[in-house]
Structure 1
Amino acid sequence: MAPDLDVAVVGAGVAGLTAAHELRRAGLDVRVFEERPHVGGRTHSHRHRGYTIDEGAEQLSPHGYRATWQLLTRLGVPASEIRRIGRPVAVWRDGRAHPGVADRSAPLTGAGLSPRARLDLARFLTWAGRRRAGFDCDRPEDTPLGHATVAELAGRYHGDLHDYLLQPVAGCFFGWDTARSAAAPMVSLLLEVGPAAGWLTYAGGMDLLARRLAEGLDVVTGRPVQEVVTDDDGDGGARLLLGAGREPDGSGGGERGGTETVTARAVVLCVPAPVAARLHVNAPDAERDHLAACTYRPVLKLSCLLDRPLAPAHRAGGRTPYIVLTPAVEESELSGIIVDHAKHPDRAPAGKGLLTLMAAPGVVPELLGAPREQVVDRLVCAAGRFVPGLEAAATEHLVHAFTHGLPEATPEALRGRARFMARPVRPVEYAGDWLMLRPSSEGAVRSGALAASRVLSRLRPLRGAGAPPAVTGRPTTAGEKHE
């Protein structure tokens, strides 16, 4: 019996939508299955009362995002929909925010570092600059840093480099524990994306790329995949067991569709590695071992909708920071405060404010299971000393949590990556930023394109190659197809 699809893609985040886009351009029959009621995954933006709230990803860069820029150009996204943030990233120390983190001037201006630490930072940047070619984001396992953790790297220098630079950056941007995560992926990424002064964001929300990709694809939202089974011979294809979806109004008042089995010539699992390990029930042992090594850190963010724009205390006359990092040596509940209304004017209505409080990595597991009111009380109370008047100005709070927030990039994952990337092509492929050990939307795009090329190397398209006409339609609701 002929399979139902050429390719089934599981997950409608940026990795899954990129893979589906590339495979559809090649003439294959592709369908994307997404458990949530919307596309975008960790790049999704929530629209509420005139606010646009980025639930996960916050920015991109003009540098180090080559695959993303190529995709944006192909999709016809105009430059007017991509805006330079133009605000500094600061670190909190001695009662105020010090700008200059991730800036070339940091060894001179300090960015919260002591004079001795600035010298050590300059020494490290000089060392890394001379070995710049060895810091390839596509091969983090091959950098001069080897498998050293962030904490081990920091231990070679003045303590401020850990306490007021590497730990705050790792904790806020990646949700990492510096004693567990490898330094190579983080350093490679920071060197590639360049100074924070050049960072960018999308107009209308960070899910712009995902929404544009989905417009031309067959996407089924609100339909979870329960398991994926490769055919016994390992060459014929795979079967997906779909769970029941929710009613399209999102009320949760009933299930729709019942369970269903779908067959495909190939499946691409575009989900976090722990989810992929659970879904692919008969994955080869070698694949399963690496999936187990690719652990994740949970992430929790609290959006504070304000009746006026507020920001953490900073230097008089200075520009309002875009992000203020709150080091673990200064603050135990928070890892950072994002000033969303300074990031882009469309994130909050005129005259209003929007702040995002990032929970510190050490407290996120506890907060994930806590009542909403407790999460709000703890984080807002902690943020009060950085942003005076926050509690009085807040009109509403929204919690955004991801159990699988960001790949942890442990030394163990780094050691096994080269072998995993060289694995034989099989009916079930994988994509996601964990595959690249590159916690960014660029990592997702690159992994999606790579998975598509591996699928195409195995399948012979049933139709002629070349991009088919784009298929558009109204936005999907839960349980519906977008065709």
Structure 2
Amino acid sequence: MSQRPAVDVAVVGAGISGLATAFYLQRAGLQVVVLEKAARPGGVVQSLRREGFLIETGPNSSPETSPVLKDFFQALGVESERIYALPTAKKRYVLRGGRLHPLPLSPLAFLTSPLFSWRAKFRLLREPWIKPAPPEVEESVADFVRRRLGEEFLHYAVDPFVSGVYAGNPERLSLPVAFPKLHQLEQRYGSLIRGAVLGARERKKRGERSRAAAPLYAFREGMETPIGALSGLLGERFQREVTVQEVAREEDWFVLRGTQRDEGREWRARAVVFAIPAHAYQQIDFRFPLPAREALGGVEYAPVVVVALGFHRHPCRHPLDGFGFLVPGREGRNLLGTLFNSSIFPERAPAGGALLTSFLGGSRLPELQALSDQQLLRTVQRELEELLGLQALPDVVHIQRWSRAIPQYTLGYSAVLAAIRRSEEAVPGLFIGGNFRGGIGFSECILQARERAGQVQRFLAGVPEER
């Protein structure tokens, strides 16, 4: 078995979480190696150029919620490649009764919108006077919204939003874990409406923005741009096609054993950061007790099918004047939603053309991932004909299936997080990150990576963590 030079930190997993963690550690002067199972870095982050269309098979954009993100991209050397969403992208549609309605973005628009009944609008006015739930109570997202905002707001605002973010079911997602800021607003201010106003003032002082108010960003050549820059900076420290099979403790070292392109390999590190999917922990033999291993094996993932359609000419009667549309579960459709990519960012399609990306499956209809490419294409075309007035055949088609796309922060998920914390306390020098902890979004993973890298640095410097 070939032994590699010892390093300060081994990072297992080269998605955005692992790569960003390695970047921060390397900038701090630490010797780092990144071990990735696949032949390419990035995980679900993948950008493709096809006949002038820029297709994203993973995240298409991310909100700039913190000034830390700009600092990160500047240090990485890709800030000049970053672009912001066009003004037209502020408009978002929601399906109700077979018709697309703009989601109201102001109090006046809300009052005049046909998306919600007058009964639902009056129900919303009660929100500031509804008592908060006891802090120890774990509610589902659906139960929380029903209690504070009403049934109709759940079905035609929150349900489609949850499908768009988590591809999940609001009846099963844990509010404190999946949407901690909503939980905190209620607990701190007693009301979402009151909390939104006062919280906005406090975020402004910190230079932060809420997810809803934050500008959306992407990159000229796609979200894979920072992935390429991160792996490029690592150089030979980025090891691809590595399967880690065993992790042991030997004196002051973590010893990782496995294969690289079918050859036996061994790596030694003073600390190790895991940034792999939750289910991947079952494939590694940890030669020490790891409470999180069993808990992570039970984490659910929602499958998502991505169907991108490129058209050289405007393809439908709808003007595509917005971000896209979301579909509530009550509408009984196969689509979770569709992005109007070429209306969100420039140069996503050739001049005069359009790029549409539709999403299917999720927790709502997981069985759709088993359909053939032709069946998926026909399903998407049929629903876009009915909803957008699609009149043209696509010039470019790309279909991507992610059988385990997005971790689901379901009720009881706090037990998973507690098991992770116990593992890190029981095994000093071992750190667990990834989008199953602290947020699923691209930006959230970067912010979590920065925090994780700080924890690693303090451990190596002998500074105790505050628990």
TM-score exceeds 0.5: yes
Aligned residue pairs total: 429
Q: What is the match of residue 365 of structure 1?
A: 366
- AA aligned to 2:374 is E
Q: What is the match of residue 23 of structure 1?
A: 25
Match of 1:154 among 145, 149, 155: 145
Question: Equivalents in 1 of 2:351, 2:29: separation in Å?
Answer: 46
Question: Equivalents in 1 of 2:134, 2:6: separation in Å?
Answer: 43
> What are structure 2's unaligned runs of at least 5 residues?
183-195, 197-208, 463-467
Q: What is the match of residue 82 of structure 1?
A: 83
For the structure 1 residues 104 and 444, does the alpha-carbon distance in structure 2 shift closer, same or farther, using more than 3 Å as the test? farther
- AA aligned to 2:56 is D
8 Å Cα contact 1:238/1:266 also seen in 2? no
Match of 2:234 among 217, 222, 235: 217
Q: What is the match of residue 440 of structure 1?
A: 441
Which deviates the most, 83-92 or 416-425? 416-425
Q: Deviations over 1:186-217 (max 9, x none)?
A: 44468763436843333221223323323311
Measured after TM superposition, the shift of residue 324 of structure 1 is: 0.2
Which deviates the most, 451-460 or 162-171? 451-460
So what's the TM-score if we normalise by structure 2? 0.81
Q: Secondary structure at the match of 1:215?
A: helix
Question: Equivalents in 2 of 1:203, 1:448: separation in Å?
Answer: 24
Question: Equivalents in 1 of 2:430, 2:116: separation in Å?
Answer: 48
For the structure 1 residues 238 and 109, does the alpha-carbon distance in structure 2 shift closer, same or farther, using more than 3 Å as the test? farther
Q: Identity rate of aligned residues, in percent?
A: 24
- AA aligned to 1:7 is V
Matched, 1:119 2:122: yes
Measured after TM superposition, the shift of residue 49 of structure 1 is: 1.9
Which deviates the most, 193-202 or 356-365? 193-202
Q: What is the match of residue 478 of structure 1?
A: none
8 Å Cα contact 1:8/1:264 also seen in 2? yes
Match of 1:44 among 33, 37, 46: 46
Question: Equivalents in 2 of 1:10, 1:106: separation in Å?
Answer: 48
Question: Equivalents in 2 of 1:362, 1:460: separation in Å?
Answer: 44
- AA aligned to 2:43 is G
Q: What is the match of residue 300 of structure 1?
A: 305
Question: Equivalents in 1 of 2:84, 2:453: separation in Å?
Answer: 30
Question: Equivalents in 2 of 1:42, 1:193: separation in Å?
Answer: 25
For the structure 1 residues 170 and 198, does the alpha-carbon distance in structure 2 shift closer, same or farther, using more than 3 Å as the test? same
Measured after TM superposition, the shift of residue 73 of structure 1 is: 3.2
Matched, 1:180 2:172: yes
- AA aligned to 2:398 is L
For the structure 1 residues 45 and 283, does the alpha-carbon distance in structure 2 shift closer, same or farther, using more than 3 Å as the test? farther
8 Å Cα contact 2:312/2:354 also seen in 1? yes
Measured after TM superposition, the shift of residue 103 of structure 1 is: 6.3
Q: Secondary structure at the match of 1:324?
A: strand
Aligned runs of 1:184-333 on 2, under 5 Å? 184-188=176-180, 193-195=210-212, 198-218=215-235, 220=238, 222-231=240-249, 235-244=252-261, 258-279=263-284, 281-282=286-287, 284-310=289-315, 313=318, 320-333=321-334
Q: Deviations over 1:298-327 (max 9, x none)?
A: 22211112232346847xxxx712120011
- AA aligned to 2:270 is R
8 Å Cα contact 2:173/2:410 also seen in 1? yes
Q: Deviations over 1:404-451 (max 9, x none)?
A: 211211121134425634641534322112111x12112211222233
Measured after TM superposition, the shift of residue 127 of structure 1 is: 7.2
Measured after TM superposition, the shift of residue 102 of structure 1 is: 6.8
8 Å Cα contact 2:14/2:42 also seen in 1? yes
8 Å Cα contact 1:116/1:158 also seen in 2? no
Which deviates the most, 90-99 or 193-202? 193-202
Aligned runs of 1:394-405 on 2, under 5 Å? 394-405=394-405
Q: Deviations over 1:363-412 (max 9, x none)?
A: 6532333332222222332332112225x331232112222211211121
Across the aligned residues of Structure 1 and Structure 2, the Cα RMSD in angstroms comes to 3.2
Question: Equivalents in 2 of 1:449, 1:12: separation in Å?
Answer: 15
Question: Equivalents in 1 of 2:243, 2:339: separation in Å?
Answer: 34
Q: What is the match of residue 336 of structure 2?
A: 335
Question: Equivalents in 2 of 1:10, 1:259: separation in Å?
Answer: 17
> What are structure 1's unaligned runs of at least 5 residues?
132-141, 245-256, 462-483
- AA aligned to 2:118 is P
For the structure 1 residues 323 and 105, does the alpha-carbon distance in structure 2 shift closer, same or farther, using more than 3 Å as the test? farther
So what's the TM-score if we normalise by structure 1? 0.78
8 Å Cα contact 2:22/2:32 also seen in 1? yes
- AA aligned to 1:401 is R
Q: What is the match of residue 137 of structure 1?
A: none
